[in-house]
Amino acid sequence: VNNFSFSEHRIMKNNDNAKRAAGVAAANLIQDGMQVGLGTGSTAFFFIEHLIQRCKEGLKIHGIASSIASHELALKGKIPLLDMESIDHLDVTVDGADEIDTHKRMIKGGGGAHVREKILACMSHEMIVVVDETKCVERLGKRPLPVEIIPFAWHATERHLNALGYRGKWRSASHGKMFLTDNGNFIYDIYFDSLLVDPETDNEKILGIPGVVDTGFFLGIAGRVIIGYADGRTQTQ
Ligand code: A5P
């Protein structure tokens, strides 16, 4: 039996207590029989970790992961996993965010997994968002907006984005190579000059460019938001 402890393999970071509190609270909402979308990132990690614990204690669920990393984590923890071809809806998806505003609009994709994350969230009866308090903002746009782009179109798409006034940087992996998503695409991170007034319009403009697979905007998708604090408290909105 692989009796692993995830936390032993990670370096504790500043917000880990807050992230863990949110992740654990979300995992405690999962009920027997649910089909659950598993998010990606350091906060979703704590959710999956606690869900594994609950499954070991007898919780009966099925999961489907939004990234190869989360799939491997869940597989290792023996959460029974589904594949996309076998499902047409999910009860709930639990996932983190890079930023979330007062209207529950989000920027996601810091880990480059936002396309699959959005697919699972939109198949779900509810997307539960788990964040530490630093992710909560009045207005979006301080963090870059990840845009997934088909490699064939990278040059044309960048020119098109720039012509519309969106400027950014291609995400690189180690060794200076282009970062590749789980879907085999590139990520262009758009940096905004000022906070966003109308993310819906920005989203439509960017999505209208051929070569763009999807943006990291999640607009009108979030259900409950569980905010974790460093002292272990959580607040649900
Ligand atoms: C993954 O691509 C992202 O959408 C993450 O869900 C988001 O970046 C939040 O990640 P953290 O919980 O690690 O901040």
Q: How far apart are CA 106 and CA 157, in angstroms?
A: 23
Q: How far apart are CA 21 and CA 140, in angstroms?
A: 24
Q: Is residue 119 scored above 70 in pLDDT?
A: yes
For residue 12, what pLDDT is reported? 59
pTM of this prediction? 0.93
Residue 75 in tokens = 């597989």
For residue 5, what pLDDT is reported? 41
Q: From residue 82, how far is each of 86, 88, 97, 129 by CA, in Å?
A: 7, 11, 24, 21
Q: Which of 117, 138, 158, 204 is catalytic?
A: 117
Give the residue whose CA is nearest to atom 6 of ligand 1: 96
For residue 175, what pLDDT is reported? 84
Condensed to tens digits (0 to 9), the pLDDT of residues 162-214 reads 999 999 999 999 888 999 999 999 999 999 999 999 999 999 999 999 999 99
Q: From residue 235, how far is each of 54, 68, 96, 215 by CA, in Å?
A: 21, 30, 15, 28
Q: How far, in Å, is the centroid of ligand 1 from the Cα of 137?
A: 15
Looking at residue 177, the DSSP 8-state letter turns out to be P
For residue 10, what pLDDT is reported? 52
CA neighbours closer than 13 Å in the CB half-sphere of residue 2: 9
Give the residue whose CA is nearest to atom 7 of ligand 1: 97
Q: How far, in Å, is the centroid of ligand 1 from the Cα of 59?
A: 26
Pocket test for ligand 1, best of 12, 38, 108, 136 (most atoms within 8 A of CB): 108
Contacts of 11 (CB under 8 A, 6+ apart): none
Contact 99, 143 (CB under 8 A): yes
Q: How far apart are CA 219 and CA 67, in angstroms?
A: 21
Q: How far, in Å, is the centroid of ligand 1 from the Cα of 149?
A: 18
Residue 131 CA: nearest ligand 1 atom is 12
Percent of the chain at pLDDT > 90 equals: 92
Residue 138 a catalytic site member: no
Q: Is residue 4 scored above 60 in pLDDT?
A: no
Condensed to tens digits (0 to 9), the pLDDT of residues 37-67 reads 999 999 999 999 999 999 999 999 999 999 9
Q: How far apart are CA 178 and CA 148, in angstroms?
A: 12
Ligand 1 residue neighbourhood (C-beta within 6 Å): 39-44, 95-98, 108-114, 117
Other beta carbons within 10 Å of 224:
17
